[in-house]
Amino acid sequence: MKTMRKRVGILTLAAGFIAASLASSPAPARADVVWDHWQKAESLSSSGDKGGAVPHWVFLADYYASTGEWENAALFCGKLDAYYDALGDYDQAIYYYELENTYWVKAGRDWGAVKLQRADQIRTTVELYKQDRNQSELKQSALPKYGQLAKFEPAYGTYLGMYSEQDPKVGNLFSKTESVYGKKHAINLAYAHWGQSFPATYAKRAKEAGGALQIAWEPDDGLDPVSDGTYLRKWAQDAKAAGIPIFLRFAGEMNGAWVKWHGNPAQYIAKFRMLHDVFAEEAPNVAMVWSPGDVPANDIDPYYPGDAYVDWVGVSLYIEPYENGDPSLPSMLPTSSVERLTRLYNTYSDRKPLMLSETGVPHYSHAAQEDFTEWAKLNLQRLYEIMPYKYPRLKAITYFNVDQQMENAKNDYSLSDSSEIQAYYRQMIANPYLLSKVADAAKPADGVGYVPVDANHQSFTKQTKFIPFVKIPEVYIGKIAYVLNGRVIATQSELPYGLMLRAGEVPEGSVLQLKVYNQAGTQVALRTFGISSQVSVEINGKEQQFEQPPVIRNGSTLTPLRAIFEAMGAKVEYDAATKTVTAHKGSTTVRLTIGQKTVYVNGKSSELEEPAQLVNGFTLAPARFVGETFGGEVAWDGSSRTVTIATK
């Protein structure tokens, strides 16, 4: 929303009920043993011995869960999670926070959402992502479940977007964005209101900047006036005439009670579907964006219009140092945008591309008069590096570039108010993975994507960048140490985090450890990842892609024979009965047999340092022999583990 509405949390709503429930005792009909545990727990807790009360709370939580009395079970889990949280035993606290939420859900209440939020705040996370150039795999990971890209959806990569109208350095002259922030933005955000004409000026300026337009179209008088007629048809026709891609976000944040179009999901769905049909008929350059707020989470799904009527799923998702900008409320610093997206992503990403239709990270709290530059930088890296890699179906991010002053959230989200934040944002968005142009099946110009480092994604060629996602309960990270095969190769205490490794530094079967320290210098996390490098082959400067990559055998580099011979213009034949390969190019004929060191070039024998071998059904032979046989010049770069072949 252009003016961020205050969002009431559920903690206050639940407090009265919880207090009343705990004040009451179990009914007399219950077993004496239950009453005894209850009384002992109350006595110990009241005397300050909460640790002594723990076994009794555990008994009571388990007992009430076994009898299906979910509210009481949840209440005693609440005692346990609060105790362990205060103690700093975060693993136990997370267990009971999640269990408490489960019991509230079983009781038909949504009061556990705030407990899940706290569990995420204190959860230690250490993940690792790396660059990858496997185009087919990158595209596959970013496809929906049924393999069909939506309107204007990139093949992989994430559109860069911004709401800049209140940015004094850009305003609504979108063409200034590149000079201020170093890069064109694919999507420009504008607001429109039902009853007003199509925002043609904004569309014109987006077109001049080479961008698309996201329009947040808001029915300020509610949904009743929204109908098919002359006004809507003219609006749609003007949208088509704009001649640019338009992402139409109609009546966003409909799940929140702070908007007038909240409260009637059936009516909302009917209106959204009607609009979809009109724009499908009148303006094929319009993609329909269904965009709730990330809270309240339990009110999102009833408003979904259906897959046939939604092109993109968006979300308004903000984080801030204090809830609603109020320093008297608990700190929200341990919350990041990453986990806030998980539920919506898991629900809809199989079907639709996702966009952060509004998002922001403040660097200053006006209400508290506190600077949060380091916190903002930490979370800007998470927003623009971690989230697109962790969520490959997240295809657009639109930043809400506004200083809220003392209105509503009371936070400064502006990127240009701080030279340090402006420079850091420029650094973050320079990544080609963040796309500057909307087009069907768009992709990064450098062909590079990012994948999690796991059992299926460990190897790389030449060199690659590793990006860690580290989150600790203490929020601020003191240092990250990178330990490769038992040796510390780098430490980082400054943002942004990331490490470039060359293939020659990483032999097959390597182990990379991330050791995380808090600002007090205490190690608080450790995670181990398997990584390996592979030999790469370049022919005349072009890196080759093989189904079977090269391997090292007894110190010799074996490369795919057929693929390289054919790339050099030779014809290759294979006799399976004799396991013999014969290749011809011009006046040269080569013959070799799998498992034998002797090869014949035009009938003249010579010896290989390592015999040709079958690896996963592919014939591999020593790189120098393969490259030089038909006149190529072969060189080896050990730092990048690259075989280069230059043909004459």
Nearest to 163 by CA among 516, 399, 481, 418: 399
> Which residues, including other chains, have CB under 8 Å from residue 415's CB and lie 6 or more apart?
167, 181, 399, 401, 421, 422, 425
Cα distance between residue 609 and residue 593, in whole Å: 14
pLDDT of 176 strictly over 60: yes
Pairing of strands 312-318, 286-290: parallel
- Segments of the chain assigned to CATH 3.20.20.80: 157-435
pLDDT of 18 strictly over 80: no
Nearest to 353 by CA among 155, 634, 542, 640: 155
Cα distance between residue 589 and residue 103, in whole Å: 75
Q: Which phi and psi angles does 464 have, rounded to 5°?
A: -150, 160
pLDDT digits (tens, 9 = 90+) for 572-630: 999 999 999 999 999 999 999 999 999 999 999 999 999 999 999 999 999 899 889 98
What pLDDT does residue 374 have?
98
Mean of the pLDDT values across residues 401-419? 93
383 falls in which pLDDT band (50, 70, 90)?
very high
Triad 624, 603, 610: Cα angle to 5° = 35
What pLDDT does residue 28 have?
47
What pLDDT does residue 26 have?
52
Cβ atoms of residues 164 and 401 within 8 Å: yes
CATH for 33-121? 1.25.40
Sheet holding 556-560, edge to edge: 551-553, 556-560, 618-622, 613-615
- Is the bond preceding residue 327 a cis peptide, omega within 30 degrees? no
Cα distance between residue 140 and residue 441, in whole Å: 12
Mean of the pLDDT values across residues 412-437? 98
Positive or negative: CA dihedral 137, 143, 145, 148: negative
What pLDDT does residue 276 have?
98
31 falls in which pLDDT band (50, 70, 90)?
low
pLDDT of 115 strictly over 60: yes
Active-site residue, 165 included: no
Lowest model confidence (mean pLDDT) among 55-59, 109-113, 125-129: 109-113
Active-site residue, 100 included: no
* Residue for token pair 């182990």: 511
Cα distance between residue 482 and residue 490, in whole Å: 5
Mean of the pLDDT values across residues 405-427? 95
pLDDT digits (tens, 9 = 90+) for 453-475: 999 999 999 999 999 999 999 99
Query: DSSP letter at 351?
Result: T
Mean pLDDT of the chain: 93
Query: What architecture does CATH give domain 157-435?
Result: Alpha-Beta Barrel (3.20)
Query: Which H/E stretch holds residue 241?
Result: helix 230-242
pLDDT digits (tens, 9 = 90+) for 473-487: 999 999 999 999 999
What pLDDT does residue 30 have?
55
Triad 482, 394, 451: Cα angle to 5° = 35
pLDDT of 20 strictly over 50: no
Cα distance between residue 329 and residue 373, in whole Å: 20
What pLDDT does residue 11 have?
40
pLDDT of 547 strictly over 90: no
Mean of the pLDDT values across residues 523-539? 95
- Segments of the chain assigned to CATH 2.60.40.10: 449-533
What pLDDT does residue 83 have?
98
* Residue for token pair 């309960």: 473
Sheet holding 487-492, edge to edge: 459-461, 523-534, 510-518, 477-484, 487-492
Active-site residue, from 100, 165, 358, 385: 358
For 439, the token pair is 């087009």
Q: What is the pTM of this model?
A: 0.91
Mean of the pLDDT values across residues 484-496? 98
Query: Percentage of the chain with pLDDT > 90?
Result: 86
Cα distance between residue 526 and residue 126, in whole Å: 8
- The more confident residue out of 414 and 558 is 414
Cα distance between residue 637 and residue 250, in whole Å: 56
Mean of the pLDDT values across residues 110-137? 94
Query: Percentage of the chain with pLDDT > 70?
Result: 95
- The 3-class secondary structure across 512-562, one letter per residue, is EEEEEEECCCCEEEEEEEEEEEECEEEECCEECCCCCCCEEECCEEEEEHH
CATH value of 449-533 in 3.40.50.300, 3.30.70.260, 2.60.40.10, 3.40.228.10:
2.60.40.10
145 falls in which pLDDT band (50, 70, 90)?
confident
Q: Which phi and psi angles does 479 have, rounded to 5°?
A: -160, 145
Active-site residue, from 100, 127, 218, 253: 253
pLDDT of 647 strictly over 90: no
Cα distance between residue 210 and residue 619, in whole Å: 49
Cα distance between residue 351 and residue 310, in whole Å: 10
- The more confident residue out of 9 and 527 is 527
- Segments of the chain assigned to CATH 1.25.40: 33-121
29 falls in which pLDDT band (50, 70, 90)?
very low
Q: Which phi and psi angles does 492 have, rounded to 5°?
A: -135, 130
- Is the bond preceding residue 550 a cis peptide, omega within 30 degrees? no
What pLDDT does residue 1 have?
53
Cα distance between residue 608 and residue 451, in whole Å: 38
pLDDT of 553 strictly over 90: no
DSSP string for 456-481: TB-EEESEEEEEEEEE-TT-SEEEEE
| Rg of the chain, C-alpha, whole Å | 30
SS3 253: coil
Cβ atoms of residues 470 and 514 within 8 Å: yes
pLDDT digits (tens, 9 = 90+) for 337-382: 999 999 999 999 999 999 999 999 999 999 999 999 999 999 999 9
For 8, the token pair is 């009431």
Helix-, strand-, coil-residue percentages of the chain, each rounded to 5 = 35, 30, 40
CATH value of 535-647 in 3.30.457.10, 3.30.200.20, 3.40.50.450, 3.40.50.300:
3.30.457.10
Cβ atoms of residues 113 and 97 within 8 Å: no
Cβ atoms of residues 521 and 543 within 8 Å: no
Mean of the pLDDT values across residues 220-225? 98
pLDDT digits (tens, 9 = 90+) for 429-456: 999 999 999 999 999 999 999 999 999 9
Triad 512, 516, 522: Cα angle to 5° = 135
